[in-house]
Amino acid sequence: MQIYNTLTKKKEEFVPLNPGVVTMYVCGPTVYDFFHIGNARSFVMADIIRRYLEYIGYNVRYAMNLTDIDDKIINKANEEKIDSNEVAKKFTQAFYEDIKKLGIREANIHPKATEHMDEIVGLIDSLVQKGNAYNINGNVFYRVESFAGYGKLSGKKIDELESGSRVEVNTEKENPFDFSLWKKAKENEPSWDSPWGKGRPGWHTECSAMSMKHFGETIDIHAGGNDLIFPHHENEIAQSEAVTGKQFARYWMHFGFLNMKEEKMSKSLGNFFTAREILENYSAETIRLFFSQTHYSGPLAFSEDLLKTSQSALIKVENFVDLIKENSATSGGDSETTFDFESYFRLFSDAMDNDFNTPQATAVIFDFIKAANKAINETEQVGKNFYSKVLEFLNKTAQNVLGIIDLEKVKMQKSLENDLVKLLLDVRQKARAEKNFALSDEIRDKLTELGIELKDSKEGTTFKIK
């Protein structure tokens, strides 16, 4: 299993610190708004990575943090004239709802900054003790120069940063790139006690503190969006490793952006759709297939047309599942079908083992469907065992790892509707027998208008409610 590691800029063989167990920490959202479909991409891809690691037998300990105290939350609270707590609570709730709708599996833990103040303060205190941080009037800054490895993740050098910097120079700091660990409370701001007075944690501290608290000083995988490489993840490394002297995370993974017309989708640019909005019109499976068809590390252009493309592709998979389920219900016995299921499992693993190559993996699913269709068409007697193996393959790969299909959900229809449609089909069949095509077509057209699609075949007419 190979993973591209941002730290070494290479694909590396993945070997967890402790055999059989993988600790994985993913940077989650700041809960000041609904998350957008670009955020959703990271969350979904992280979910697929987690699921695949479980698929190959690892016990994955998975955390995604929620930043629930931050400038943005405070600003939002001021705008809406409510308590910042309320803001965080509301969007935390929304976050849980949305990731559930996206089919994202529950994390083992969603650590929150406000629930880890002791650890955060403790971490900052250690940094101050060790000389990696300094307190100026209740603001504590990290002394960037004190950490030799600063820049090792992002490839940036402190002296080179200066040239293009547009950071407002804070004269209090020793170095303009020193970053805030603890922010002194302003009036009417939520605050916590600390050795430096009332305040709240700065941007990056929570992730270090929480990751170490829950998973120990060194974790296996730390992941997040591309834009977190610098400064967020760089700073996490500086904070954590300065304190522990140990490697903070062994594999750093970063997700490419979702772009709107060549431009990064982001809240600050205002060019975004919330995941919620998209979920109103598209299923989680469609969205997940859409994401899976591009490698997680590259950019992905978002448009509704592209999403529709994935929707069409998914219909193909669902039709196939329909067919398999129908056939499976009516067939019996074993068949002699020679079909190499193992090779498809292997191809799927090969793809995923190569730095989670989901586009390749989805291609394997489509190849599998084509080959299985062919086998069915070319075989006289297809037995039940074949169909159940097909379903097993899809269950293990497309459903459990990629989450692009829900085998249970396909073909769930209400019985009353079914009975009524069947009644109409009987009438139509009589009309057809009498060659009264005007009437039979009228029935068909009206049903089509209602979203009920008819399919005539030798065995009779079947239908599908769209």
Order of strands across the sheet with 59-64?
59-64, 21-26, 219-225, 249-255
Binding mask 284-313 for RNA (x = CB under 7 A): ---------xxx--xxxx----x-xxx-xx
Rounded to the nearest 10°, the torsion over CA 426, 432, 436, 442 is: 60
Shortest Cβ 19–RNA spacing (Å): 26
Residue with Cβ nearer RNA (17 or 259): 259
Q: Which amino acid is at 274?
A: T
The CA-atom distances, in angstroms, between 149 and each of 109, 146, 239, 311, 457 are: 30, 9, 11, 46, 70
What is the end-to-end Cα distance of the chain in Å, rounded? 40
* Euclidean distance between CA atoms 400 and 406, whole angstroms: 9
Shortest Cβ 245–RNA spacing (Å): 26
Applying the rule CB under 7 A, the residues between 119 and 158 that interact with RNA are 154-157
Number of chain residues interacting with RNA (CB under 7 A): 95
Residue with Cβ nearer RNA (130 or 422): 422
Applying the rule CB under 7 A, the residues between 153 and 172 that interact with RNA are 154-157, 160-161, 163-167
Shortest Cβ 418–RNA spacing (Å): 17
Applying the rule CB under 7 A, the residues between 349 and 408 that interact with RNA are 354-355, 357, 359-360, 362-363, 366-367, 369-370, 373-374, 377
- DSSP letter (8 states) at residue 196: T
Find out whether 104 and 90 touch, Cβ atoms under 8 Å: no
Binding mask 210-249 for RNA (x = CB under 7 A): --------------xxxxxxxxx-----------------
Among 183, 250, 264, 288, binds RNA (CB under 7 A): 264
Shortest Cβ 424–RNA spacing (Å): 13
Applying the rule CB under 7 A, the residues between 180 and 199 that interact with RNA are none
The continuous run of DSSP H or E covering 453 comes out as strand 452-457
Shortest Cβ 135–RNA spacing (Å): 20
Residue with Cβ nearer RNA (101 or 464): 464
Residue with Cβ nearer RNA (129 or 413): 413
* Euclidean distance between CA atoms 135 and 200, whole angstroms: 14
Applying the rule CB under 7 A, the residues between 312 and 341 that interact with RNA are 312-313, 315-316, 319-320, 323
Shortest Cβ 128–RNA spacing (Å): 21
Residues written for the chain = 466
Shortest Cβ 263–RNA spacing (Å): 4
* Euclidean distance between CA atoms 90 and 332, whole angstroms: 53
Q: Computed over its alpha carbons, how large is the radius of gyration of the chain?
A: 27
Binding mask 268-287 for RNA (x = CB under 7 A): x-------------------
Residue with Cβ nearer RNA (283 or 357): 357
Quickly list DSSP for 220-265. EEEEEEGGGIIIIIHHHHHHHHHHHSS-SEEEEEEEPPEEETTEE-
With CB under 7 A as the contact rule, which of the stretches 142-150, 210-218, 243-251, 435-443 interacts with RNA?
435-443
Residue with Cβ nearer RNA (81 or 166): 166
96 binds RNA (CB under 7 A): no
Shortest Cβ 330–RNA spacing (Å): 16
Binding mask 16-55 for RNA (x = CB under 7 A): -----------xxxx----xx-xx-xx-------------
Shortest Cβ 389–RNA spacing (Å): 18
The owner of tokens 């922010």 is 183
Shortest Cβ 444–RNA spacing (Å): 6
Residue with Cβ nearer RNA (17 or 373): 373
Shortest Cβ 78–RNA spacing (Å): 16
Residue with Cβ nearer RNA (206 or 220): 206
Shortest Cβ 48–RNA spacing (Å): 14
* Euclidean distance between CA atoms 140 and 432, whole angstroms: 83
* Euclidean distance between CA atoms 431 and 74, whole angstroms: 69
455 binds RNA (CB under 7 A): yes
Structure tokens at 155: 């490839």
Other Cβ atoms less than 10 A from the Cβ of 386: the count is: 25
111 binds RNA (CB under 7 A): no
Residue with Cβ nearer RNA (36 or 116): 36
Structure tokens at 305: 């047309």
Other Cβ atoms less than 10 A from the Cβ of 323: the count is: 16
The CA-atom distances, in angstroms, between 186 and each of 71, 80, 183, 189 are: 11, 19, 9, 6
DSSP-derived pairing of the beta strands 10-13 and 21-26: unpaired
For residue 195, cis peptide bond before it (omega within 30 degrees of 0): no
For residue 249, the cross-strand partners are 219
